Amino acid sequence: MSLVEIKGLAIRFGSLHNPIHAVRHVDLSIERGTIHGLIGESGCGKTISGMALLGLLPQSARVSADAFRFDGLNLLDVAKSLRGRRIAMISQDPAAALNPVLRIGRQMDDVLKSHSGLPRFQRRAVAEELLAATGLADPRRVLKSYPHQLSGGMQQRVVIAQALATGADFIIADEPTTALDVTVGTQVLALLKRLVQERALTVLMITHDMDVVAECCDSATVLYAGHTVEAGCTDELLAAPRHPYTQALLAALPDAVAKGERLASIEGHIPSPFAVIEGCPFAPRCASAMAVCRQAKPPERDDGNHCWTCHLEPHHG
Ligand code: SF4
């Protein structure tokens, strides 16, 4: 059984007559002990789907799903109670995640105090161990520091150590390298990969960057305008994308230019969250669109390695 199993997730705001569709139909399946990428342009619904997993949606959100499960539990009922116990979050801005006026030692201790039940002297040792596990060379010095005395990369490692301190086995990492320079970002991704292996964690990596998926994700789901359009193992997705949107995303990578290929930009815009979408959400931008694409929802297709939604008949061989 997958750790996370989501089918047909829809999240809307506003009134019944004037709905704002933040998420329209997201399917997401995450295997235990893996890093799963959730990729798409901004506004595609990836961050809000992560917030739903954490039980962090505002009261005004209307959520429905055919299945919305974590480890067999219905997240519509238990997401809030799992947050900080089994599910933790790493955000893109580590400075904002840390309290600027408290030393790291105090902040680590607060997390351990409310999650571990350990006495104070043991909490100190565990805090040092967790900071060391994230690759911080001098945990004692870090514990005595205020956040502003640490670099962005060190702050992100502290945030990761805090996530570990909760005892969570599922971590949602929302663009965790966006605020970091490329080298430090690569180190943070390598750290997450190592922790997944060493501590039997599962990570949902929310990103707009295909390079991040290529670098550290075992599998990924591609979102477009609040819909899952393709999902599968990373190698398959990168080598043989089936959905025209995934193909366009990959063609737009600078790497394609480095290989002498023309940089393709995707013409047009993502549909507005107010729009009523009858057929395929990508139809207005899709170079392969047919009449049926504007009228009917595309069928789900599956070749055994990955699945996608499109009216185009898959070609074999
Ligand atoms: Fe393009 Fe039609 Fe496939 Fe949508 S269903 S991606 S418009 S070919």
In the structure encoding, which two tokens stand for residue 158, read together?
């502290």
How many distinct helices (H) and strands (E) make up the chain? 13, 13
pLDDT(81) > 60? yes
Query: Which pLDDT value is given to residue 256?
Result: 52
pLDDT(267) > 60? yes
Query: Which pLDDT value is given to residue 259?
Result: 52
The CB of 289 under 6 Å from ligand 1? The reply is yes
Do 76 and 8 touch, CB atoms closer than 8 A?
Answer: no
Atom of ligand 1 lying closest to residue 281 CA:
4
Q: Residue ranges of the alpha helices (H) in the chain?
A: 46-54, 75-82, 94-97, 104-115, 120-133, 139-144, 152-165, 182-199, 210-216, 234-239, 244-251, 254-258, 291-295
The CB of 184 under 6 Å from ligand 1? The reply is no
Query: Which pLDDT value is given to residue 263?
Result: 43
pLDDT(168) > 50? yes
Task: List the chain domain ranges.
Answer: 4-86+168-309, 87-167
User: Taking the alpha carbons of 55, 58, 60, 62 in that order, is the dihedral positive or negative?
Assistant: negative
Tell me the β-bridge partners of 46: none
Ligand 1 centroid vs 24 CA: distance in angstroms?
Answer: 17
Place of tokens 């010095």: 141
Ligand 1 centroid vs 305 CA: distance in angstroms?
Answer: 20
Q: Is 26 helix (H, G, I), strand (E, B) or coil?
A: strand
Do 25 and 210 touch, CB atoms closer than 8 A?
Answer: no
Q: How confident is residue 269, by pLDDT bands cut at 50, 70 and 90?
A: confident
Query: Using CB atoms within 10 A of its CB, is residue 291 exposed (0-12), middle (13-18) or buried (19+)?
Result: exposed
Q: Could you name the CATH architecture of 4-86+168-309?
A: 3-Layer(aba) Sandwich (3.40)
Query: Which pLDDT value is given to residue 316?
Result: 54
The CB of 244 under 6 Å from ligand 1? The reply is yes
Q: Give tens-digit pLDDT for 209-263.
A: 999 999 999 999 999 999 999 999 999 999 999 999 999 988 877 665 445 454 4
* ipTM of predicted complex: 0.99
Contacts 24+ apart (CB under 8 A), 133-136: 133/161, 133/164, 133/195, 133/198, 134/158, 134/160, 134/161, 134/164, 134/191, 134/195, 135/187, 135/191, 136/161
The CB of 266 under 6 Å from ligand 1? The reply is no
Q: Give tens-digit pLDDT for 26-65.
A: 999 999 999 999 999 888 999 999 999 999 999 999 999 9
Mean pLDDT within 97-110 = 96
Mutational test site, ligand 1, from 288, 301, 309, max ligand atoms within 8 Å of CB? 288
According to DSSP, the β-strands at 219-224 and 35-39 are parallel
The CB of 283 under 6 Å from ligand 1? The reply is yes
Of residues 142 and 249, more confidence is placed in 142
Q: Is 178 helix (H, G, I), strand (E, B) or coil?
A: coil
Nearest CA to 226 out of 63, 25, 47 is that of 25
Q: How confident is residue 279, by pLDDT bands cut at 50, 70 and 90?
A: very high
Percent of the chain with pLDDT over 70: 96
pLDDT(97) > 90? yes
Atom of ligand 1 lying closest to residue 244 CA:
6
Q: How confident is residue 1, by pLDDT bands cut at 50, 70 and 90?
A: confident
Mean pLDDT within 87-114 = 94
Query: Using CB atoms within 10 A of its CB, is residue 229 exposed (0-12), middle (13-18) or buried (19+)?
Result: buried
pLDDT(317) > 80? no
Place of tokens 């690569």: 186
270: which residues sit within 8 A by CB, 6+ positions away?
A: 41, 43, 44, 224, 225
Dist. CA 46–CA 42, nearest whole Å: 8
The pTM of this model reads 0.93
Query: Which pLDDT value is given to residue 12?
Result: 96
The CB of 277 under 6 Å from ligand 1? The reply is no
User: Taking the alpha carbons of 114, 115, 121, 125 in that order, is the dihedral positive or negative?
Assistant: negative
Q: Around 121, how many Cα atoms within 13 Å sit in the side-chain half-sphere?
A: 0
The CB of 295 under 6 Å from ligand 1? The reply is no
Query: Which pLDDT value is given to residue 164?
Result: 95
Q: E strand or H helix at 5, and its extent? A: strand 4-14
